[in-house]
Amino acid sequence: MIEKYSDYKALSFFEELTKIPRCSGNEKEVSDWLVRFARERNLEVHQDKALNIIIKKPGTAGKENNPPIILQGHMDMVCVKEDSCAFDFEKDAIPIDVEDDWIVTKGTTLGADNGIAVAMILAVLDDCEMEHPPIEALITTDEEVGLLGATAVNGELFRGRTLINLDSEEEGVFLTSCAGGVRNVLALPVRWKQNKKKNAFEITINGLQGGHSGMEIHKGRANANRLMGRLLEEVGGGARISLLEGGDKMNAIASKARAIITMNGSPEGVVKKMQRIFSQEYRISDPDISISVKEVELPEQAVSSGTTERIIALLQLIPDGVQSMSLEVEGLVETSTNLGVVRLKDEEIYFESAHRSSVESKKVFLIKKFEQLAILTGAGIIIQGNYPGWQYSPVSPIRELFMKTYKELTGKEAKQEAIHAGLECGILQEKLGEADMISLGPNMLNVHTPYERLSISSTERTYTLLTEVLRRL
C-alpha cells in the first residue's frame, strides 16, 4: 500500500486508479468511477459523450466569488508490457511496488502519466479544509492517442480563464508552450502467395530502451522497426515475409520487432553481423540490443516478393526521429516523427507514425512527405488526430505566481521551458479563448515503458506547491 509512505491523499487516490482499467479507448469504467467520486461528495459533475469529466467545487469562505481555476489532466494511459509479463490491462490491477523514493511496477507501464494528475486533482476536490477559489476540474480521455478527448470538450461549460495542466514530468520545470502534432497511417496492400521456400525463421529484435516519442526522441534511441528494415534488407536473397510486427504505440519509440521470413538457406550469418553493427552504433543509447533467430514451422503462405521489397523499402525510407532542431530555443527539438507501430494484416500492412512540430508549416511539410511516399509505393494514407501547438505568452500571472511560490517554498529557482511533446493546452486554448496557462508535475522516469516510475517525495512537494498557489490566488 502506498499510503503508509505518505501523508498526502493524492498517492492514495493514485493507488486506487491503478486498480481501474484505463488504457486509451477503454476509459468507460474510470470515467464512471470519477462521476461516482463527485456525486458522493455532492459536487457538480458533467460527463460528455467522449467520457470527459468536469467536476466543479465552490470556493472556500471568502473566495466564493473569485475567478474559477481550471485543474486539468487526462485519465487514459499508455498500456505497454514486457512480453514475458502475464498481465491483462482490461481487468488486472497494475502491480505497483515501492523502491526507496519511487513507485514502480513489474513488467508494465505504471500510468503515472497522467494518473498522478488525476490523483492530485481528486485530492484537492476531496479536501474540506484547504483554502482555494472555485475549482473547475477537467479530466479528459484519449490524450495518448491524439488528444481526442480535449478536442470534444465544450468550452462554454467553463467560467475559468486560468488553467493549470498537471501533465508534466519534471519537478521545478514549468512548461509554457508545446509542439503541435498529427498522426498518420500508411496502409500498403499486400499480395499473398503460396510459399515455395524451403525454410522459415523467426527473427526478434528486443532489449531497446524505447520511450516517449516526444520527451525522449532527441536521445537518439534505436527504433526496432527501423532496425528490422535494415536487417531484412541485408538478408535479401529472395526472402519473403509471412509475419511482421513492431512497436506497441504510435507515440512510443518501438522497443521490439518480430518477423517470420521464408527463404532458401539461413539468415543466421546476417543476424550475427547486424547484431555487431547495431550494438556498436547504439552502444550508448541502447546497450542491451538483442537479436535472436530460430527456425520455425514453414507457413503455407508469404507475401509476394514485390510486396516484400516495398515493405522493406518503407521500413527504411519512412522518416523517423528528429527532423530539425529549433534555432530559437537551444536544445529544443523543432520537428520529429516516430514510426511507432508496424502490423502486417491479411489485406494490408500498416505503418503508424506520430509527427510533432512547433512550426505548423513544417508539420504540414512532413505530412506531404508521407503522402508522396504513399504515391510512390501504392499505399493509402490516413491522417488523424491533428492538434495545434500551445504558443508561449509573454504575460502570464499564473506563471509568475508559480515561479514566486516555488522559490519561497524550496529556495530554488524554477525553470521555464518549451516542450516537444504534445499537451492539451493548445486545444483547450482554442476552446476557452484567451486563457492563462501553465503545465507542471512531479518527477517521473521512463514513461510509456515498463520501467516507468514516479517519485513519492516529488509528488508530495508538487502537491504542496499546487495547494499553496491555490491558497494564494
What's the CA gap between 35 and 141, in Å, rounded? 14
Which residue, 46, 30, 8, is CA-closest to 127? 8
Which residue, 116, 162, 137, 143, is CA-closest to 423? 143
Computed from CA positions of residues 211, 217, 220, 225, in that sequence, does the dihedral angle turn out positive or negative?
Answer: positive
Q: Which residues are catalytic?
A: 76, 143
Q: Is cis: bond before 446, omega within 30 of 0?
A: no
HEC states along the chain?
CCHHHCCCHHHHHHHHHCCCCCECCCCHHHHHHHHHHHHHCCCEEEECCCCCEEEEECCCCCCCCCCCEEEEEECCECCCECCCCCCCCCCCCCCEEEECCEEEECCECCCHHHHHHHHHHHHHHHCCCCCCCCEEEEEECCHHHCCHHHHCCCHHHCCCCEEEECCCCCCCEEEEEECEEEEEEEEEECCEEECCCCEEEEEEEECCCCCECCCCHHHCCCCHHHHHHHHHHHHCCCCEEEEEEECCCCCECCCCEEEEEEECCCCHHHHHHHHHHHHHHCCCCCCCCEEEEEECCCCCEEECHHHHHHHHHHHHHCCCEEEEECCCCCCCEEEEEEEEEEEECCCEEEEEEEEEECCHHHHHHHHHHHHHHHHHHCCEEEEEEEECCECCCCCCHHHHHHHHHHHHHHCCCCEEEEECCCCCHHHHHHHHCCCEEEECCCCEECCCCCCCEEEHHHHHHHHHHHHHHHHHC
Residue corresponding to grid cell 488504457: 23
Task: Judge contact between 117 and 444, C-beta under 8 A.
Answer: no
C-alpha cell at position 15: 493507488
